[in-house]
A = this chain, B = another copy of it.
Amino acid sequence: MTGTSFFSDMVQTITERGRKLLSFAPRAERTQTSLTSLEKLCDMLLSSRGEASGMALAAEILQQWSRLNDGQQRDFMLLLAGKFGPDSDKLDKAIDTYRAERSAKAVLELHEAAEPRRQELIRRLNLAPNGISTLVRMRERLLELKIDTPDLEAVDADFAHLFTSWFNRGFLILRPIDWSTPAHILEKIIRYEAVHEIGDWDELRRRLAPGDRRCFAFFHPQLADDPLIFVEVALTKTIPETISDVLGEKRAPIQAQDARTAVFYSISNCQAGLRGISFGNFLIKQVVEDLRRDLPKLDTFVTLSPAPAFAGWLGRERRNEDSDVLTAEDKAALAVLDDADWASGTAGTADVKAALLPAAAWYFLRARTPDGRPVDPVARFHLGNGARLERLDFLADRSSRAMRQAHGLMVNYLYKLDDIETNHEAFAQRGEIVAAPAIRKLLRSIKPNRSAPAAERAGNAADSKELSS
């Protein structure tokens, strides 16, 4: 209805103000920023009772931080870790009171006392115009630093805690991205695409402009120019078996209203600083609902996904003399995989396929990481969202990356709205992987003598329960 535009206008101001601040920002003399001065500013911000001054202080701190060199940024994070934790005396006192009283009030005070001071600091830094954007970049840096500096784990926990709250699904906005989207947003789609690279604007156009293409992204009101995550969708008549069915330059577009299938062929997270704050599951569910409303004839929602860890896993099995999965014949058939050009010929792939697909079925259904999860990260994502493993596509992506990571294998995961919750619960709570019968059947072709002893299998509930729906 009409009134919503009142609000839209309203929100423009955020962006406009932000841009103004960026473009008119005093071209600071880039004076040497010392950590000492930054620490002092942070103390001031924390003790400030005047929110008005708070905004200015927060802006100043974020600006100074942006100018720090790599080493200084690391030192700043260590400062947050070392000097902006909770006040020990206060915490000890709160613990004593809690132990003595065990009252609700004592719990409350204990919780407050245990909160690192940097949490409040980060909250106040968010007062600065466009503060959240710098905070996200700050965490991006932090995630890099954390690798070598485990002491920063606690700092990251505080960022993650606040980001989870601020990037709550309730605050996210789903937007279609198409060829009439502003160029500065599209430019980021090109940059952030993580699955099937977008070479240039012409290729972008081919992915967005035709009537049988869709793209959707989540945005946050405070990061209006920057998508958080996006998914690219192809509308097709049937489930595609190769990525070139979808992305081939010569393909003939179909009328959107003739499509029966929506193919999610690429999902990309955009903000490194938001790693671990998950949006993907919401995104797919929402997109399915929106597409169904717009195009009621759509009845199949499916991905065309990479299998990025497959080649690595298969290599290990091929080298494993006691492999449960591969027989000597299999290994012989798969030996050609070591030749980078194995698939370029027209002949000879039939044997590879016969050995590779059952192994792939095992990879998805039985293989587990040491902590008991499926080996394939993309599988974990979609199965965790309640999708079912629908089809394995042999030689579906012949790009060098896909050949290297998965010997060209791709996978379709099927999203069936009615089953999503059940599938999700089965996977989340009992580790069950829901798969199409055809994939389970592939597993059966694996000869008994190499399967795990009965006793072991009985011990692994998950394995014995791949379900089909």
Contacts and interface: CB of A to CB of B under 8 A. Distances in A.
Interface of A: 1-16, 19, 23-24, 27, 49-53, 55, 81, 85-86, 88, 91, 95, 98-99, 102, 104-105, 107-108, 110-111, 114-116, 123, 126-129, 131-132, 151, 153-154, 157, 162, 164-166, 168-171, 173-187, 200-201, 205, 209, 211, 219, 221-222, 224-225, 255-257, 278, 281-282, 285, 384-386, 420-421, 424-425, 428-429
B6 A181 contact: yes
Contacts of A111: 86, 111, 114-116
Given A12-B8, A55-B169, A105 B2 contact: no
A425 B44 CA distance: 12
A5 B10 CA distance: 10
A6 B11 contact: no
A85 B102 CA distance: 11
A424 B48 CA distance: 10
A50 B428 contact: yes
A95 to B, nearest CB: 6
A451 to B, nearest CB: 31
Contacts of A151: 104
A3 B81 contact: no
A6 B185 contact: yes
A234 B326 CA distance: 67
B50 A424 contact: yes
A155 B85 CA distance: 25
Nearest to A423: B50
A181 B2 CA distance: 6
Among A50, A102, A181, A187, chain B packs the most CB atoms within 10 A around the CB of: A50
Given A86-B111, A116-B107, A201-B200, A127 B180 contact: no
A327 to B, nearest CB: 38
Contact of A95 (B95, B127, B162): B95
A201 B187 CA distance: 10
A184 B3 contact: yes
A16 B49 CA distance: 38
A153 B104 contact: yes
Contact of A224 (B4, B132, B200, B257): B4
Which 10 A-B residue pairs are closest in the complex by CB-CB distance? A3-B180, A8-B8, A7-B224, A111-B114, A3-B182, A104-B154, A5-B5, A221-B221, A50-B424, A180-B182
A262 B459 CA distance: 66
Nearest to A6: B182
Given A85-B104, A115-B111, A170 B129 contact: yes
B104 A99 contact: no
A11 B219 CA distance: 9
Given A50-B386, A424-B53, A9 B178 contact: no
